[in-house]
Structure 1
Amino acid sequence: MDRKIEKKRWNQKRILSIAGITALVLLICASWYFTSGKSRLNVDPERITISEVKKGAFQEFIPVNGMIMPITTIYLDAIEGGRIEEKLVEDGAFVKRGQPILRLSNTDLELSLANQETAVFDVLTQMQNTKNNAVQNTIQQLNHKADVDNAFIEAERLYKLNKHLYEEKVIGSQEFKASENNFTYQVNRKKLNEQTLQQDAISNKQQISQMGASYARMQNALALMRRKVGDLIVRAPVDGQLTSLDAEIGQSKNKGERLGQIDVMSGYKVRVDIDEHYISRVMIGQLGEATLAGKTYKLRIKKVYTQVNNGRFQVDMEFVDTPPSDVRRGQTLQIRLSLSDETQAVLVAKGGFFQQTGGNWIFKVNENGTMAYKVDVQLGRQNPDYYEVLSGLQPGDKVVTSSYENYGNMQELVLKK
């Protein structure tokens, strides 16, 4: 007897077909979910840095290194060249103003001094001879004047007498004319003698004056030469510490060559190197801070050297109050140089995120700390510790400030261990 065979509703082929279709639909849905939604990345919170945004005092500053230097340094140069004969003070010693440090010798200079002294002595001798000759000439002229005056008086007496006798018809006209001519001659002779004496006096005075001026000039030249020879002894120009002395006995030094330096130890300054990027923002009077032995000291810029070398320029800073007593020349200080006044601002800690975002966005952590998502921000000024937040964040927000290098284009970070 034939038996009717019922066809199975869920056969193996149908089950496999339905399973394949279901898997395909799930694959399509998953693909759509991951491609059309926000991309996420699981991140271990212990491997990142989460910082809290806060409001506080902000000051733009840069960290710089400075070197302690004496407040004043006086350089010792060889005013006159010569051979070092004696070294009177050792390097590092404290010296007083005027104290001899080195003694040099210069044969040519010493010979020039001897020749100058001889020339001055010759001029002095010549001037003395001129004075003596002038005196003798004056005596002779005065003796001659006495004779002329006597002859004039006698001629005048005889002329007046003969004139009276001639008027009385006692003597003839010939005798009267002879006395009159002699009187006229003596008058002219007396006038000429007086002019001669006057000219000689003027001439002697000018000659002596000229020789006196010449002698004075030679005396000045002699004094200058003696001073040059005296400069062969190198003396300390100020009180201070002798450093960098480059001189040995027997060594020859040229004129103007550096011998050493004297550091005035009455105070200190700090020589600071700064990147040329800040040259337009650094000026005299700006303040900085340095910490030494647990104590903070304020410094002020007193001089700016605008010359740039190897991308850096220098400034000199001085301590505003009493400088530290235990510093030494050449010691290095780390200084926070202020570029702006202190103001209140919203702050976010500096971190590696800035290299990838340029300060345009940041990952902000949600309230329960399970996820961080992108938010747009605007950052302003900065210092080595913080960025100034202009918009996008509020005090109390928590953000990821470590590097985003491994996050690619992720939109959200899932924070779970």
Structure 2
Amino acid sequence: MDREIPKEEIKKRRNKRIIRAAAIVFIIFTCFIIVEKWLGQSVNRSDLIFSTVDRGTIEVSVNASGKVVPIFEEIINSPINSRIIETYKKSGDPVDAGTPILKLDLQSAETDYKKGQDDEQMRISKLQQMKVDQNTKLTDLTMQIRVAQMKLSRMRVEMHSERYLDSIGASTRDNVHQKEMNYNVARIELEQQKKQLINERLSCAAEYKVQKLDLDMFIKSLGEIRRTLEDAKIRAPRKAILTYINNQIGSQITQGQQVAVISDLSHFKITGEIADSYGDRISVGGKAIVKIGNKTINGIISSVTPLSKNGVINFTVQLKDDKNSVLRSGLNTDIYVINSVKSDVMRIANSAYYTGPGVYDLFVANSNGEIVKRKVKLGEAGFDYVEVLSGLKPGDKVVVSDMNDYKDKNKLKLKN
């Protein structure tokens, strides 16, 4: 028959099992720590981006920031002080040339214009009356001269007759002298009248010219008022999209205040800015590459502001594909302005690791399935490639993805 196991034996066996289980747990935990540490020294090859060092051409560029804007945008301002009575469109609506956009209160301006028209007619009438008065005055002077000429002719005949009578003893020398004096006085008076006529003609012409010029200026100013009234009937100047409209009915607006904006949202350009220290590297006609997300679009610099403002220079990029689907008004972009070309240089792919010329710690793959940190000196860069000055040779495979998580490591194993 079975014997009962002593309690001491049972307790001893239980303690052995506990010790054995604890040892197993400790061994498993120690192995886990070792494996975890070993895994921390490795990285998946598929998580990395490699670039093979080769020789080739680099289009050297400088970075600038930019914004997508419509290739055409026009701000419509109020030409007069008025208030908004009615709006016919809303933001986002397409408009054709001549399409009414909003209505301003023009009653006061139209009243002033009608008064101006009445004033114009009055000025024209006054000018015509002045012309009639001048013609009458000149005609009177002309008739007086003709009469004076007739009198002078008669006096000349009388003077010659008196001389003849004096020669035959039928007159006296005093009578001849009197006739001669009368003739000379009449001749001088005729010359004076002729000069007066000439001066009067010049004076009338000058006065008429001044009054006519004043009338022309008034008519011109009235024409400006008429054009202002036409402009105050706010219409779209061309086919576009209405991107802004002041739709506050009844609100007062001042002359020159913005009331609407129309834009061509089918074509775009880039407005960029770059530090003025790079001003010598940017010029009209230069090549530029615009990056929006993962998309790149080539372009040409079409204009550069001549002056620096707040330490930056503004410029405009005309895109070769200005209708690309990624273009949206207001999007921020990166611009790479090409300023020179380097041929037959060592190069690697450009990526986020590059922040400018200098010495970098880059991981390079070796034949043992590892990547090893190496000091590499880099030069100038383009959009696609960075110039390698030293530390690498053609054929080396360099990690160009973000390695900040491993910046304290000198060597990592590659896992397939």
Counterparts in 2 of 1:45 and 1:336: CA distance versus 1, 3 Å: farther
Count of matched residue pairs: 367
Separation in 2, partners of 1:368, 1:81: 81
CA positional deviation for 1:79:
2.6
Task: Give the conservation status (yes or no) of the 8 Å contact 1:286–1:300.
Answer: yes
Contact 1:82 1:232 in 2 (8 A): no
1:391 corresponds in structure 2 to 390
For residues 18-60 of structure 1, give each alpha carbon's deviation from its aligned partner in whole angstroms, at most 9, with x where no partner exists.
xxxxxxxxxxxxxxxxxxxxxxx98543368584643155555
- In structure 2, relative to structure 1, the CA distance for the partners of 1:197 and 1:325 (3 Å cut) is same
Residue 270 of structure 1 corresponds to 270
Residue 185 of structure 1 is matched in structure 2 by 182
Q: CA deviation at 1:391?
A: 2.2
Between the aligned residues of both structures, percent identity stands at: 19
Cα RMSD over matched residues? 4.6
Specify the structure having the higher radius of gyration (Cα).
1
Report the CA distance shift for 1:330/1:206 in structure 2 as closer, same or farther (over 3 A).
same
Letter in 2 for 1:93: P
**Superposed displacement of residue 231, structure 1:** 0.8
Residue 43 of structure 2: SS of its match in structure 1? helix
Give the counterpart of 2:214 among 193, 217, 233: 217
Q: In the alignment, which residue of structure 2 is the partner of 1:317?
A: 317
Alpha-carbon distance change, 403 to 304 in structure 1, aligned in 2, over 3 angstroms: same
Partner of 2:27: none
**Counterparts in 2 of 1:80 and 1:396: CA distance versus 1, 3 Å:** same
Call closer, same or farther: CA 1:238–1:337 in 2, change over 3 Å. Answer: same
Please tell me whether the aligned partners of residues 113 and 225 of structure 2 are also in contact (alpha carbons under 8 angstroms).
Answer: no
Please, what TM-score do these two structures have when normalized by structure 2?
0.66
- How far is the alpha carbon of 1:265 from its aligned partner? 6.6
SS in 2 for 1:244: strand
Q: 1:269: how far off?
A: 1.2
Deviation per CA, 1:110-169: give whole Å up to 9, x if none: 555455545544444444344333444444445544554444444433443343333223
Equivalent residue for 2:229, pick from 225, 232, 235? 232
CA separation in 2, counterparts of 1:68 and 1:290? 11
- What's the counterpart of residue 207 of structure 1? 204
Alignment correspondent of 1:82:
82
Q: What displacement does 1:398 show?
A: 5.1
Alpha-carbon distance, 1:328 to partner: 6.1
Cα separation, 1, equivalents of 2:245 and 2:103 = 14
Residue 198 of structure 1: which of 195, 200, 223 is its match?
A: 195
CA contact (8 A) 1:87 1:103 kept: yes
Matches within 5 A, 1:58-137: 58-59=58-59, 67-85=67-85, 87=87, 91=91, 92-96=93-97, 101-105=101-105, 109-110=109-110, 112-114=112-114, 116-137=116-137
CA distance 1:105–1:213, shift in 2 (3 Å)? farther
Distance 2:353 2:117 in 1: 83
**1:300: which partner in 2?**
300
**Pair 42,343 (structure 1): closer, same or farther in 2 beyond 3 Å:** farther
CA contact (8 A) 1:43 1:414 kept: no
1:168 paired residue number: 168
Which stretch of the first structure deviates more once superposed, 51-60 or 247-256?
Answer: 51-60
The separation in 2 between residues aligned to 1:387 and 1:93, in whole angstroms, is: 46
1:360 Cα shift? 5.0
Q: Summarize the Cα distance change of 1:112–1:183 in structure 2 as closer, same or farther, 3 Å threshold.
A: farther
CA 1:274–1:79: 2 relative to 1, 3 Å = same
Stretches of structure 1 that go unaligned for 5 or more consecutive residues are 1-40
- SS state of the match for residue 318, structure 1? strand
Distance 1:74 1:136 in 2: 57
Distance 2:116 2:352 in 1: 78
Q: Deviations over 1:237-277 (max 9, x none)?
A: 84231431225553322111112233357843123466788
Q: Residue 362 of structure 1 contacts residue 399 of structure 1 at CA under 8 Å; is this kept in 2?
A: yes
Q: Is the CA contact 1:349–1:386 (under 8 Å) kept in the aligned structure 2? A: yes
Gap runs ≥5 in structure 2: 1-37
The answer for the alignment partner of 1:380 in structure 2 is 379
| Partners of 2:171 and 2:318 in 1: CA distance | 112
